[in-house]
Amino acid sequence: SQQGEEDPQALSIQEGENATMNCSYKTSINNLQWYRQNSGRGLVHLILIRSNEREKHSGRLRVTLDTSKKSSSLLITASRAADTASYFCATEETSGSRLTFGEGTQLTVNP
């Protein structure tokens, strides 16, 4: 079963606004990763945050990780219509290298 749960399932915002997506998990992890998927396409790796890191930035992306709460958030600042996609978190458990994906958040950025 998927251990990652994402919130919200769907998010619709206007261009220029910030988008925040949350992910919760259940087990101990080595790292947590965020991916983006355009409809019917493969996944694009966005950012990886290790279990000993609390925050990471990459361009307009900001990821936080709270291992005590077993949760992570992805913030996309100054969103663009091209950011419209599904966003998935995935955790790599300490027991191995397999990734467990969350259910995803469908983000729609309206121009």
Partner 1 sequence: GAVVSQHPSRVICKSGTSVKIECRSLDFQATTMFWYRQFPKKSLMLMATSNEGSKATYEQGVEKDKFLINHASLTLSTLTVTSAHPEDSSFYICSARGLELTQYFGPGTRLLVL
How many angstroms separate the CA atoms of 72 and 27, rounded? 13
Q: Which stretch binds partner 1 (CB under 8 A): 25-33, 55-63, 66-74, 76-84?
A: 25-33
Inter-residue contact 7 to 19 (CB < 8 Å): no
Q: Applying CB under 8 A, which of residues 29, 92, 107, 109 lies at the interface with partner 1?
A: 92
Contact pick of 33, 72, 84, 91 for partner 1 (by CB under 8 A)? 33
69 makes contact with partner 1 (CB under 8 A): no
* 82 C-beta neighbours (distance < 10 Å), count: 10
Residue 22 contacts partner 1 per CB under 8 A? no
Counting every residue written for the chain, the total comes to: 111
**SS3 of the chain: helix, strand, coil, percent, to 5:** 5, 60, 35
Q: Examine residue 61 and tell whether it contacts partner 1 (CB under 8 A).
A: no
Q: Return the residue of 14, 17, 27, 44 that touches partner 1, per CB under 8 A.
A: 44
Nearest to 34 by CA among 16, 18, 57, 15: 57
* Interaction site with partner 1 (CB under 8 A): 2, 4, 30-31, 33, 35, 40-45, 48, 88, 92, 97-104, 106
